[in-house]
Chains A and B, each alone.
Chain A
């Protein structure tokens, strides 16, 4: 019997063709499928507020990249889970994202302690972790190969305040901090900077995460009466410390907090009690980085609320990451790593450049002060949009 079509029967051909077609369309489909980028973010718990800005920043970045044709010809899509502000939960979530959800890329969570924990997972799986909101130097001293930093390190958060205090001729400082990775490093940095300026550190004390009552440490401060009080804080502790400082009538000449002080809610929650408080920040709306104004407009349009630096930091990290991927023209970790190490750029968030550890070296901090319920940038001089009001008047003379 003669075999049709080069040795195949017609039935076999149909099956073969169908199979080929199926494989082909499946390939096409997967080429069109979005690039999934995994992240855990604190959407509940202590860091919820700041975590929500982080998430917004990622979403806005994805939207803009997708509107402009996507990444390597594919859409990008974030897969985000809530880590409840707990490092162990974040570890589990990144493991799930990488092994079960099979995301192709990951980005960092919010906060130093959580990034510190979660990056062990990404490093193990040789995935780049673009850490958008981790500022603790020690995280980059572990020799990790695939971890990149976006924001200025914790140690310099209080640089502006210490400098202004030194200019004013102030001599004594007291420092408190939450007993977690970032806050500890920020407080340690503040102490070192103050000592370098010849100031005397009267008190340096830590409190556990979740503390709501700061009476005891404030009583000590009141007795010591330092010129400057600096708090290595997140948001809720910054609010509580400020409010209780008023209750206990503690009157430093300058008082600054590391993180909470630049969040819009700091002013909403405290009202005029927030006046004269300094907050250090990685970014403000008034800085003239390219794309910064567009970012602000687009953010407000998309989310209809005010935001703090966490949003542009997450956005900037994502833009740097996508730029590196574009240059690498690949999702391969080693190729992206090569580009991230070389890259020198400025996004809406400011400058980006890292050293061989992936540690941020280019980005700049600014200091703001609350004045009549508004945030005014007061340091460094060339970026300032207002004058500082000094000293902080005693509580008894305020309304």
Chain B
């Protein structure tokens, strides 16, 4: 059954891919920050995202709160959750071999996901708030995805402002570049760790809030975002924060086009082939330099 891919279909594929990519970029930025500063690969990132989704869900289901407004709650809530996790568990593995941090965060993610399952059951839930699309000729712009994309871009922009313009942001970048030197220069790296982990968790939480308007919510929903975030970070280059942003958009478009031109099954193959190729050819990521 040959299908002729027309121009508008390609355009729609790119648009859908970009809309998905904006969210990937924001979620991946949280993971990249934590890795950059602490060299901790946070496998619980997806679980934190799931907590963000449930925050939005419950606020919506119980109090009828606008899911897009609930960002202002899911960010601080997850910031605190992240801070507590860092203070209690993660700070113990900051200078340890990477395997320790993998095991620890993997354990945390299993623990939280199972608690969520106990507390909220594994039923699929959804926030039926904004549906449908704007039609621009042959192109359909999904309303929830458009709003989500805009918010993800805005929040990513705020995060970059924080990183580039504020004192604390500069301290985070300094710690990420050279932990020891930063410490010698008088930066309290323990405090930076705490803030960074909170920030990473907060970004995951906001990601979860945004995901909840588009997809079903369940305790194990986060996993797929951890994998995607890894991909994004590799594409962008570890420690390269703007790279993570473009990596996210690239992943979205590649996935969108691959499943349009080939099939949904092959799109994951293509995405991970891209990962392998980038690791082989440009292990520092597609974008040179770091900030």
A: which residues have CB within 8 A of B? 43-45, 48-49, 179, 201-208, 210-217, 219-220, 222-224, 235-236, 239-240, 243-244, 246-249, 265, 269-271, 273, 395-396
Asked if B133 and A265 make an inter-chain contact with CB atoms under 8 angstroms apart, the answer reads no
Stretch at the interface among B67-75, B124-132, B157-165, B183-191: B124-132
Does B216 have its Cβ within 8 Å of any Cβ on chain A?
A: yes
Closest to B114 in A: A44
Tell me the bound Cα distance from A236 to B260 in angstroms.
Answer: 21
Residues of B within 8 A of A44 (CB): 117, 122, 219-220
Does B13 have its Cβ within 8 Å of any Cβ on chain A?
A: yes
Asked if A239 and B216 make an inter-chain contact with CB atoms under 8 angstroms apart, the answer reads yes
Asked if A273 and B216 make an inter-chain contact with CB atoms under 8 angstroms apart, the answer reads no
Does B88 have its Cβ within 8 Å of any Cβ on chain A?
A: no
Tell me the bound Cα distance from A59 to B1 in angstroms.
Answer: 47
Name the contact of A216 in the complex, choosing from B8, B215, B224, B259 (C-beta under 8 A): B259
Residues of A within 8 A of B4 (CB): 223
Residues of B within 8 A of A239 (CB): 124, 126, 216
Closest to B126 in A: A269
| Interface mask (B122-165 → A, CB under 8 Å = 1, otherwise 0) | 11111010011101000010111100000000000000000000
Tell me the bound Cα distance from A271 to B131 in angstroms.
Answer: 11
Tell me the bound Cα distance from A241 to B41 in angstroms.
Answer: 33
Name the contact of B13 in the complex, choosing from A208, A219, A247 (C-beta under 8 A): A219
Asked if B124 and A265 make an inter-chain contact with CB atoms under 8 angstroms apart, the answer reads yes
List which B244-264 residues lie within 8 A (CB) of chain A.
255-260, 263-264
| Distance to closest chain A CB from B74 (angstroms) | 20
Name the contact of B16 in the complex, choosing from A48, A210, A219 (C-beta under 8 A): A219
Residues of A within 8 A of B125 (CB): 269
**Known contacts A48-B121, A215-B16, then 17 further A-B pairs from the complex at CB < 8 Å, ordered by chain A residue:** A44-B220, A45-B220, A49-B122, A49-B123, A205-B264, A208-B268, A210-B224, A212-B224, A213-B215, A215-B256, A217-B259, A236-B216, A239-B124, A239-B126, A243-B131, A248-B142, A269-B125
| Top 10 A-B residue pairs of the complex, sorted by shortest distance between their CB atoms | A216-B259, A247-B142, A207-B264, A215-B16, A48-B122, A216-B260, A44-B122, A269-B126, A249-B140, A248-B140
Asked if A211 and B264 make an inter-chain contact with CB atoms under 8 angstroms apart, the answer reads yes
| Distance to closest chain A CB from B257 (angstroms) | 8
- Given A216-B259, A219-B16, residue A271 in contact with residue B123 (CB < 8 A): no
Tell me the bound Cα distance from A214 to B135 in angstroms.
Answer: 18
Closest to A176 in B: B264
Asked if B265 and A48 make an inter-chain contact with CB atoms under 8 angstroms apart, the answer reads no
Tell me the bound Cα distance from A240 to B256 in angstroms.
Answer: 16
| Distance to closest chain B CB from A152 (angstroms) | 25
- Given A202-B1, A203-B3, residue A48 in contact with residue B263 (CB < 8 A): no
Tell me the bound Cα distance from A44 to B220 in angstroms.
Answer: 9
Does B108 have its Cβ within 8 Å of any Cβ on chain A?
A: no
| Distance to closest chain B CB from A166 (angstroms) | 20
Asked if A235 and B131 make an inter-chain contact with CB atoms under 8 angstroms apart, the answer reads no
Tell me the bound Cα distance from A396 to B124 in angstroms.
Answer: 27
Asked if A213 and B20 make an inter-chain contact with CB atoms under 8 angstroms apart, the answer reads yes
Asked if B260 and A247 make an inter-chain contact with CB atoms under 8 angstroms apart, the answer reads no
Most B-side CB within 10 Å, residue of A207, A224, A243, A396: A243
| Distance to closest chain B CB from A248 (angstroms) | 5
| Distance to closest chain B CB from A141 (angstroms) | 25
Tell me the bound Cα distance from A243 to B258 in angstroms.
Answer: 22
| Distance to closest chain B CB from A107 (angstroms) | 21
Asked if A235 and B124 make an inter-chain contact with CB atoms under 8 angstroms apart, the answer reads yes
Residues of A within 8 A of B3 (CB): 203, 220, 223-224
Name the contact of B123 in the complex, choosing from A45, A48, A212, A223 (C-beta under 8 A): A48
Closest to A206 in B: B265
Tell me the bound Cα distance from A203 to B259 in angstroms.
Answer: 14
Closest to A44 in B: B122
Asked if B132 and A395 make an inter-chain contact with CB atoms under 8 angstroms apart, the answer reads yes
Name the contact of B1 in the complex, choosing from A204, A214, A215, A235 (C-beta under 8 A): A204
Name the contact of A208 in the complex, choosing from B144, B220, B260, B264 (C-beta under 8 A): B264
